[in-house]
Amino acid sequence: MHILVINSGSSTVKFQVIETTDATGDLLLQQKLARGLVDRIGARASYRFEGLGRSTQSGSLPVGDHEEAVRSIIHWLRSNQREQALDAVGHRVVHGGTEFTVPLLIDDGVVEKIDALSELAPLHNPAAVSGIRAARKILGEFVPMVAAFDTSFHHTIPEPAATYAIPYEISQKHKIRRYGFHGLAHQYDIARYADLNGIPVAQVRAVTLHLGNGCSATAIRDGQSVDTSMGFTPLEGLVMGTRSGDLDPALVSYLAQREGVGANEVENWLNHRSGLLGLSGLSNDMRELTAAYAENPRARLAIDVFCHRARKYLGAYLAVLGGAEAVIFSGGIGENSPLVREKICAGMEWCGLKLDAVANSTVIGRDGCISVVEAAIKAFVIHTDEEAIIARETARVIQSKNG
Ligand code: AMP
């Protein structure tokens, strides 16, 4: 099956064409055929289209909206004889609310519901809806499409972990709960970990630390999410590139009063001016902060706060799980930063977690084990591939539809 995976952001459309050679979309049997993106949708958008084993095309062009972006991708696929072979399209959707707990076939009603959930994800769901509408318009009704949600992996989180301790009626009225995000990434990480270790995913008990520009930790029991650090929005939890993660909620009104701004503005600071960027005053990019670590005290503080928070969640989730067989690092920072991994795991021998210094410094940007052989809790690095999970889920939905 040839599946086009579309990941629409607020100003980008990324895509991959993936061939799934068995009906269940097995990750190990997938093959990437093409990939690319249209970035900074607007008057001077840039694009890069790459056919595997074929030529790469890149440049800039005016792209008015998501529909034009998707159109340019399909046009390129057609001119490379890729599109006519498309069997299905899988769309990444950030918020599935309480309704969408599994990936499902898209029809008009589903699109409307995803659109209605924009209330809970104003920065993300409208982009996904634009991408879906554009693809349906361009490819027509004969190419089935599937929505895969970032929240749905977390629908298994039990009530005590999903519920905020605020007046219950208010939670119910406004659908406030821990939804969790990055679900497709965490799901891939444990699926890949299970494949690499030759065990069924349903047996995995692990803590996944997905550390990229956005960061989240998830406690996984029997292959299912039982707690996660992002909550009602992706602002909660770990320190991120520009997001604060956890803080005292009283700070919002305190800062609003002191600085003479509205709560919305404070929330904006917490989302865009905080985290690694706000702490360091230098950058939200861990590479720059690592380079400045030795001589810049604020870069050092930013990394230290980042690692302390991640370590705190790791400890908390080991307690939630009653121990784990593995800690999995992923995301741009998790995959590439031996310094961060070392600082998060330092002094955790008491629970059986000990990194192998050589493995930690050499497993960069690829899958691999970075703990010592005798460690009771293994440490793994996994190169996350959300598109692969979306392709697998799309293949499964199509297979069950076809009976
Ligand atoms: P992601 O959102 O998963 O693409 O991750 C992006 C982040 O990964 C960047 O903002 C960097 O902070 C981080 N990153 C990428 N490469 C490295 C590296 N070699 N060392 C440390 N951090 C890195």
pLDDT at 250: 98
Q: Rg of the chain over CA atoms, in angstroms?
A: 21
Residue 150 bears catalytic tag: yes
Q: Using a 6 Å cutoff on CB, does residue 334 contact ligand 1?
A: no
For the whole model, what pTM was predicted? 0.95
pLDDT at 53: 72
Residues of the chain with CATH 3.30.420.40: 2-149, 193-381
| Number of residues that make up the chain | 403
pLDDT at 84: 59
Distance CA 186, CA 209 (A): 8
Mean pLDDT of all residues belonging to the chain: 95
Measured in Å, residue 369 CA sits from the centre of ligand 1 at: 19
* Mean pLDDT value of segment 216-244: 97
* Mean pLDDT value of segment 171-197: 97
Given a cut of 80, whether residue 349 has pLDDT beyond it is yes
Higher pLDDT, 287 or 61: 287
Report the CATH number of the 193-381 domain: 3.30.420.40
3-class DSSP string for the chain: CEEEEEEECCCCEEEEEEEECCCCCCHHHEEEEEEEEEECCEEEEEEEEEECCCCEEEEEEEECCHHHHHHHHHHHHHHCCCHHHCCEEEEEECCCCCCCCCCEECCHHHHHHHHHHHHCCCCCHHHHHHHHHHHHHHHCCCCCEEEEECCHHHHHCCHHHHCCCCCHHHHHHHCCCCCCCCHHHHHHHHHHHHHHHCCCHHHCCEEEEEECCCEEEEEEECCEEEEECCCCCCCCCCCCCCCCCCCCCHHHHHHHHHHCCCHHHHHHHHHHCCHHHHHHCCCCCHHHHHHHCCCCHHHHHHHHHHHHHHHHHHHHHHHHHCCCCEEEEEHHHHHHCHHHHHHHHCCCHHHCECECHHHHHHCCCCCEECECCCCCEEEEECCCCHHHHHHHHHHHHHHHHCC
Retrieve residue 9's tokens: 């952001």
Quick one: pLDDT band at residue 116, thresholds 50, 70, 90? Answer: very high
Tokens 């799309």, residue located: 394
Q: Are 147 and 100 in contact (CB under 8 A)?
A: yes
Measured in Å, residue 241 CA sits from the centre of ligand 1 at: 9
Q: Using a 6 Å cutoff on CB, does residue 216 contact ligand 1?
A: no
Q: Which of 16-20, 57-61, 119-123 has the lowest mean pLDDT?
A: 119-123
Give me the percent of the chain exceeding a pLDDT of 70: 99
pLDDT at 10: 83
- Ligand 1 atom nearest the C-alpha of 214 is 2
Given a cut of 70, whether residue 197 has pLDDT beyond it is yes
Q: What's the CATH architecture for 2-149? A: 2-Layer Sandwich (3.30)
Q: Using a 6 Å cutoff on CB, does residue 290 contact ligand 1?
A: yes
Give me the percent of the chain exceeding a pLDDT of 90: 88
Measured in Å, residue 256 CA sits from the centre of ligand 1 at: 32
Quick one: pLDDT band at residue 83, thresholds 50, 70, 90? Answer: low
pLDDT at 100: 97
Q: Are 289 and 194 in contact (CB under 8 A)?
A: no
Q: Using a 6 Å cutoff on CB, does residue 51 contact ligand 1?
A: no
* Mean pLDDT value of segment 231-240: 96
Tens digit of each residue's pLDDT (9 = 90 or more) over 323-348:
999 999 999 999 999 999 999 999 99
